[in-house]
Chain A
């Protein structure tokens, strides 16, 4: 069974630009979660999507947004990039109603210069 996949592996952007990160969940999983891990910090919850709807979001500004497609894959968009957005962005998936056991992808390393 294929795990959670994320693309790209690395992304380098300039301050003010937009970044788009992609995630494909494990087959059968309908929930997708996004987390940010800045250098030296733990994982911070960003967004949760289930059945195409945003279910919850963490304490991040509105320039962090995303969506979930009918095939349950997801996109995270970060607008007006700031230097402090440089981080590892991790996507996780789970079956509906079992969000406690989330399975993570390898992450996208975003660097903002």
Chain B
């Protein structure tokens, strides 16, 4: 039972263009969503989050959009940089203490 799904295992984008990473969830009770970035041999690094009462949150080059009716969130990175190449995980929270993660999307930004 995969409650958080990232259907694209990989994504390649040209440097300077927009990267859009997608995530779907099934549990309508999730009230908080997060994106993490992970480099090989390192732990995930928190990127950006959004509460279920909002539909957009922006932080520099990163914007997260939440569509509750579609149970869908996306992460936009503009402009994409080669250093953004990493695995991106979306995660959802029902309450404090447990994050449910998707399987990740490998983003490759081509110079």
Q: A-side interface residues toward B, CB under 8 Å?
A: 4, 31, 33, 35, 40-45, 48, 50, 55-56, 58, 90, 92, 97-107
Task: Find out whether the CB atom of A97 lies under 8 angstroms from the CB atom of B99.
Answer: no
Provide the bound-state CA to CA distance between A56 and B97, in Å: 7
Task: Find out whether the CB atom of A99 lies under 8 angstroms from the CB atom of B93.
Answer: yes
6 nearest A-B residue pairs (beta carbon): A104-B43, A99-B96, A42-B103, A43-B101, A42-B101, A48-B97
Q: How many residue pairs between the two chains, A and B, have CB atoms under 8 Å in the bound complex?
A: 63
Task: Find out whether the CB atom of A90 lies under 8 angstroms from the CB atom of B44.
Answer: yes
Which B residues are in CB contact (< 8 Å) with A42? 4, 6, 89, 101-104
SS of B interface (majority): strand
Task: Find out whether the CB atom of A99 lies under 8 angstroms from the CB atom of B97.
Answer: yes
Which B residues are in CB contact (< 8 Å) with A31? 97
Task: Find out whether the CB atom of A100 lies under 8 angstroms from the CB atom of B49.
Answer: yes
Which B residues are in CB contact (< 8 Å) with A106? 41-43
Provide the bound-state CA to CA distance between A26 and B4, in Å: 27
Q: Is B26 an interface residue (CB 8 A)?
A: no
Task: Find out whether the CB atom of A100 lies under 8 angstroms from the CB atom of B45.
Answer: no
Which A residues are in CB contact (< 8 Å) with B104? 42
Which A residues are in CB contact (< 8 Å) with B43? 4, 90, 92, 104-107
Which B residues are in CB contact (< 8 Å) with A104? 36, 43-45
Task: Find out whether the CB atom of B97 lies under 8 angstroms from the CB atom of A33.
Answer: yes
CB distance from A98 to the nearest CB of B (A): 7
Provide the bound-state CA to CA distance between A48 and B98, in Å: 7
Which B residues are in CB contact (< 8 Å) with A101? 34, 46, 49
Which A residues are in CB contact (< 8 Å) with B46? 101-103
